[in-house]
Structure 1
Amino acid sequence: MSKLLVTGSTGQLGRPTTAALRAAGVDVLGLTRSGGPGAVAHDLRTRRGLDEAIQGVDTIVHLASTNGRQDVEMARNLTDSARRAGVAHLVLISIVGIDETPLRFYRDRVEIERIALASGVPLTIQRATQFHSLIDMIFSVQKLPMIFVPRWRVQPIAVEDVARRLAELAVGAPQGRVDDISGPEQHSMRDLHTFWKQATGSRRPAVMVHLPGRFFAAYDAGANLVPGPGYGTKTFESYLQEKYR
């Protein structure tokens, strides 16, 4: 039986992805900084324990992130080790619209994809739209008497749906960049704010804003959307009902 390793296995996406793979009977090893049951200790930033952890691994699902500049170096270290170890398949999560959206975090995602493609390790790249939790956070972190809502359309996806897709890809052959995935519905941020108010009991009104800059122009143009039917099954309303009930 092939051996599969998930980086960031204790993270928001790593947990359900690891669970989905184990439920399918796959031999999964988590890769975390602290180790623990079902996991091995490593440090992707310094390579501590990395080469040892990858030995004998056939497939790596790379989900670890610091949400910062270190992600690029982590990807470089991982792909270098994976190439030396002869890993047969690297599955990489990415974000829809990163090559059209001039945000530093997105530019780093583009660079990570480039590093992975240039590494020589057979791979699959899956881009997905933003998680439901990010839309929730955009509203939740604002503490003013009103909530500023950008004039975007968005197509958020459930973490569980992305995890299911990654698990499917991980047990298959490398495919290069596959079709982008999104949630089942496109909505304006105004609509999503209305759903959020109903779920949370908030009485703060929305103030619609149109912000300048190339980043906001890219979102205004729909760079964050996926044409055609959505892949995901859980709507933002369902996510809110589960979280705030």
Structure 2
Amino acid sequence: MGTILVTGGTGTLGRHVCERLRDRGAFSGEGHAVRVLSRHAHPYAVDLREGTGLAEAVTGVDTVVHCASSPRGGDEEATRRLIAAARPAGVRHLVYISIVGVDRVPFPYYRAKLAVERLVEESGIDWTVLRATQFHNLVLRVFETAARLPVMLLPAGVADQPVEVVEVADRLAGLTAGPPSGRVADMGGPEIRPFPELARSYLRASGRRRGVLTVPLAGAAYRGFRSGGHLAPEHAVGKVTFESFLARRFPAHQR
């Protein structure tokens, strides 16, 4: 694999991808180097939205694993800058992590992820794209935010299929070690569960007492989520359930 650059390499997914790529290199004896790129990761502290230092970061790189992303915006510009630097540097494989349903749910962040997929496909670099369902960590953050009120308000009629981030990192590292594969099979968590059911699992695990109330919402994005556009029932390949994830996060409340 030569030298691998992981964008967003200190983030929720990226740090696990870096660990697994290093482990693969040590175990196999391939001796490849892993470069961590993020805004604060020296020596490759790069803000992709600005691009300063990006040319140096991709010099000598064979494969880029693009994990950097932000719901606050800027993904498309960041990816354009990354591709513009990667092409003349001779990068041979561009691996991107996306989200299940970006082509079915008209949610602004999903639209940006779909646009980035298209940039990757049209980059002129051989590519691999993996779509995954929401990480356990994200679902937990949603519930922690909702639990700030006496009653947790959740969208009515919506289910989720959370997946363990480490399992996604394993899959992404394996794809990085292989040849460019284009769009690969989606990766979903082991179970599709109604949001209120997941929320009550969170409340039990964390020892918090809250009511749970579902509220119908308006808009095309909500209809997309309610219809299950973000789910991958045919690709429920994850092993770690939401309850198992919660048990590790809240060990003091486990019986």
Tell me the TM-score normalized by structure 2: 0.91
Could you report, residue by residue, the CA deviation over 1:114-166 in whole angstroms, capped at 9, with x for unpaired residues?
Answer: 11111111100011001111211221112221111222111011111111111
Could you report, residue by residue, the CA deviation over 1:166-197 in whole angstroms, capped at 9, with x for unpaired residues?
Answer: 10000110011111101111111121012111
Find the aligned partners of 1:29 and 1:197 in 2 and give their Cα distance. Answer: 39
Cross-structure match for 1:22? 22
Q: Is the 8 A contact 2:161 2:231 kept in 1?
A: yes
Could you report, residue by residue, the CA deviation over 1:90-126 in whole angstroms, capped at 9, with x for unpaired residues?
Answer: 0001011011111111111111111111111110001
Find the aligned partners of 2:128 and 2:65 in 1 and give their Cα distance. Answer: 9
- Unmatched tracts of structure 2, length 5 or more: 26-31
TM alignment of 1:163-202, pairs within 5 A: 163-202=169-208
Q: Is the 8 A contact 2:188 2:233 kept in 1?
A: no
Find the aligned partners of 2:39 and 2:96 in 1 and give their Cα distance. Answer: 19
Cross-structure match for 1:110? 114
| Equivalent residue letter for 2:162 | P
Find the aligned partners of 2:215 and 2:12 in 1 and give their Cα distance. Answer: 30
Find the aligned partners of 1:159 and 1:220 in 2 and give their Cα distance. Answer: 24
Give yes or no for the alignment of 1:101 onto 2:105: yes
Compute the displacement of 1:46 (Å): 2.0
TM alignment of 1:147-166, pairs within 5 A: 147-150=152-155, 151-166=157-172
Find the aligned partners of 1:180 and 1:162 in 2 and give their Cα distance. Answer: 10
Cross-structure match for 2:50? 46
- Unmatched tracts of structure 1, length 5 or more: none
Out of 236, 239, 249, the residue aligned to residue 243 of structure 1 is: 249
Find the aligned partners of 2:199 and 2:47 in 1 and give their Cα distance. Answer: 39
Cross-structure match for 2:211? 205
| Equivalent residue letter for 1:126 | L
Cross-structure match for 1:72? 76
Find the aligned partners of 2:136 and 2:47 in 1 and give their Cα distance. Answer: 29
TM alignment of 1:115-154, pairs within 5 A: 115-142=119-146, 143-150=148-155, 151-154=157-160
State the SS of the aligned residue for 1:164. Answer: helix
Find the aligned partners of 2:231 and 2:205 in 1 and give their Cα distance. Answer: 25
Q: CA RMSD in A?
A: 1.3
Compute the displacement of 1:222 (Å): 0.8
State the SS of the aligned residue for 2:81. Answer: helix
Out of 87, 91, 95, the residue aligned to residue 91 of structure 1 is: 95
Give yes or no for the alignment of 1:32 onto 2:45: no
Tell me the TM-score normalized by structure 1: 0.95
State the SS of the aligned residue for 1:94. Answer: strand
Cross-structure match for 2:229? 223
Report % sequence identity.
43
Find the aligned partners of 2:211 and 2:73 in 1 and give their Cα distance. Answer: 36
Matched residue pairs, number? Answer: 243
Cross-structure match for 2:29? none
Give yes or no for the alignment of 1:5 onto 2:5: yes
Find the aligned partners of 1:229 and 1:110 in 2 and give their Cα distance. Answer: 19
Compute the displacement of 1:67 (Å): 2.6
State the SS of the aligned residue for 1:141. Answer: helix
Compute the displacement of 1:229 (Å): 4.5
Cross-structure match for 2:240? 234
Find the aligned partners of 1:97 and 1:229 in 2 and give their Cα distance. Answer: 13
Distance 1:168 1:31, change over 3 A: same
Find the aligned partners of 2:119 and 2:44 in 1 and give their Cα distance. Answer: 24
